[in-house]
Structure 1
Amino acid sequence: MDAQAYGSKNDRRQSEIQHDLPRLLDRAARGAGMDRAQWQIQRKGDEQLAVRPLDGTEPRLADDYIRHVVAELREYNAQRVPEARMRLRAVIHQGLVELAENGFAGSAVVATARLLSAHQLYDAMAAHPDADLVLLLSDDVFRSTVAGGHTTLSTSDFTHVTVRVKEYEATAWLRVPALGAAARAAHEPGAAETGTPAAPVPGEPAADRSGAAAAGAAGGTTGPGVAHAYRADRINVTNVTGSVDARGAVFGFGSTGG
């Protein structure tokens, strides 16, 4: 995660962002049934890099967790003048990571940093000034979660882009969650490259779960009694009365007869 336009803020506003950002992300994680206390987090002013084990809950990062971050940002910004809004660029990637003397090491960490610097994220921010967050998934994460059918998201919710930063070049998938659809960057030089989202690949294996994941917006383990995985096609309708512990749940709403 990285806060947009942080450097243009005055000292007091920068201090406020550094105070509020981790608390906002903590609330979002709790809302999604995750515990950020279980993550390894590298803090850098307006930016956070979180590392967590691959444990089968990866689809919830791009789905539940990001949804709660967007909701927290909406509530936070609603109480502030436009100049004091917090807007975030978010990236999710996965791969092997080593804990080093001064942070994290590994090609997955470098790739995450390059994705977070992609001009497509900045272009989407400029093209959608009302959006509080823009999201970029690495191709590996996109195919093993969204294209694999393990989230409530559709491949059509994302725009295919090619990220080129320094020596790094890779396919990624862009989304502006507040729009409920694929991002459309400004039609100007340097704007995001768009394409037809890839359809799910039948029989394609899920990503290797044996290592650790580097993620600009990553999740952790859940508390006792909370399911660790779900599929979007496994939907049950349940009528409940009284108090319910719904941490980690996904709710759908519809009208009678349709």
Structure 2
Amino acid sequence: MDAQAYGRESDRRQSEIQHDLPRLLDRAARGAGMDRAEWQIQRKGDEQLAVRPLDGTEPRLVDDYVRHLAAELRRYNAQRVPEARMRLRAVIHQGLVELAENGFAGSAVVATARLLNAHQLYGALAAHSGADLALLLSDDVFRSVVAGGHTTLTTDDFTRVTVQVKEYEATAWLRVPGAGASPAASSEYDVEETRRPATGEVSREKAAGRESAVETEAGGARGISHEYRSGNVNVTHMYGSVDARGAVFGFGSAGG
């Protein structure tokens, strides 16, 4: 994790970020049923490198933890003026790590650092000014966890990019939680024409989703329907906490 534009902040704001960042990360982990006290964490100002064992809960890290982190950032930033928002770049990678005298060692650590400096992460936050978080998964994590069907996410929730930082070059998968794709977003991410793993279809991917088209009733033409139908309304009231992980909510009328 790394806080965006930290170096441009005042001394007082930098101290505030260093105070608030670990607390946000801790709350997100607790919300996902994880305990960061069990992780090895290397702290560096606005940045944290956390190492955790491969224990079978990797899908929860990619899915639940990231979702709770996005929610924590949203609540945190809602109480602040735009100039005081905290926006994070995040990377998840896996591999062998050694505990060294001054931190962590290993090619997996180097790869994680390179991914965190990918210009596609900076471009994603620039393209989505309302987003609080941009995430990159290494190709290994993406294929084993997301493409393997172990999360509520799908391959279409991510955009394939090629990261080139110093001597490092690799495929990675980009996601901006909660952000809709803008028509011009792909060029800002340096998105390449790629092959979707799930369908084999070659297409130019959007950054955080794709434009959807629906059949309109007038002549069957393709387009976006903005018609509101209020003939049939069903209302469901929920009280207290609701665990809706994996749920799908639909809104519409009985007539279509």
Instruction: Give the TM-score category using the shorter length.
Output: 0.7 to 0.9
Q: Decide whether aligned partners of structure 1 residues 193 and 101 sit closer, same or farther in structure 2, where only a CA change above 3 A counts.
A: same
Structure-2 residue corresponding to 1:159: 159
Report the TM-score, using the length of structure 1 for normalisation.
0.77
* CA positional deviation for 1:60: 1.1
Alpha-carbon separation, structure 2, partners of 1:90 and 1:184: 23
User: Do residues 194 (structure 1) and 192 (structure 2) align?
Assistant: yes
- AA of the residue aligned to 2:247: G
User: Do residues 254 (structure 1) and 249 (structure 2) align?
Assistant: yes
- Say if 2:63 and 2:152, in contact at 8 Å, map to a contact too: yes
Alpha-carbon separation, structure 2, partners of 1:245 and 1:199: 33
* CA positional deviation for 1:192: 1.9
Alpha-carbon separation, structure 2, partners of 1:84 and 1:103: 30
- AA of the residue aligned to 1:153: L
C-alpha distance after superposition, 1:175-215 (max 9, x if no partner): 10112669974635xx42233453259xxxxxxxxxxxxxx
Alpha-carbon separation, structure 1, partners of 2:195 and 2:19: 38
* CA positional deviation for 1:21: 0.1
Secondary structure of the residue that 1:48 maps to in structure 2? Answer: strand
Alpha-carbon separation, structure 1, partners of 2:101 and 2:39: 17
Q: Give ranges in structure 2 of 5+ residues lacking alignment.
A: 200-237
- Say if 1:156 and 1:182, in contact at 8 Å, map to a contact too: no
Structure-1 residue corresponding to 2:215: none
- Say if 1:39 and 1:50, in contact at 8 Å, map to a contact too: yes
Q: Give ranges in structure 1 of 5+ residues lacking alignment.
A: 202-240
Alpha-carbon separation, structure 1, partners of 2:184 and 2:39: 32
Alpha-carbon separation, structure 1, partners of 2:39 and 2:182: 29
C-alpha distance after superposition, 1:135-167 (max 9, x if no partner): 000000000011001110010111110000000
Relative contact order (C-alpha < 8 Å, sep 6+): which is higher? 1
Aligned length: 215
- Say if 1:143 and 1:200, in contact at 8 Å, map to a contact too: no
Percent of counterpart pairs with the same letter? 76
- Say if 1:93 and 1:141, in contact at 8 Å, map to a contact too: yes
- Say if 2:158 and 2:175, in contact at 8 Å, map to a contact too: yes
Q: Decide whether aligned partners of structure 1 residues 177 and 242 sit closer, same or farther in structure 2, where only a CA change above 3 A counts.
A: closer
C-alpha distance after superposition, 1:79-116 (max 9, x if no partner): 00000000000000000000000000000000000000
Alpha-carbon separation, structure 1, partners of 2:85 and 2:159: 26
Alpha-carbon separation, structure 1, partners of 2:180 and 2:157: 7
Alpha-carbon separation, structure 2, partners of 1:184 and 1:62: 27
- AA of the residue aligned to 1:21: L
Structure-1 residue corresponding to 2:106: 106
Alpha-carbon separation, structure 2, partners of 1:137 and 1:120: 12
Secondary structure of the residue that 2:136 maps to in structure 1? Answer: strand
CA RMSD of aligned residues (A): 2.5
Secondary structure of the residue that 1:162 maps to in structure 2? Answer: strand
* CA positional deviation for 1:40: 0.1
C-alpha distance after superposition, 1:45-81 (max 9, x if no partner): 0000000000111111111000000000000000000
Secondary structure of the residue that 1:74 maps to in structure 2? Answer: helix
Structure-1 residue corresponding to 2:123: 123
- Structure 2 matches for 1:1-258, cutoff 5 A? 1-179=1-179, 185=185, 187=187, 191-196=189-194, 198-200=196-198, 250-254=245-249
Secondary structure of the residue that 1:142 maps to in structure 2? Answer: helix
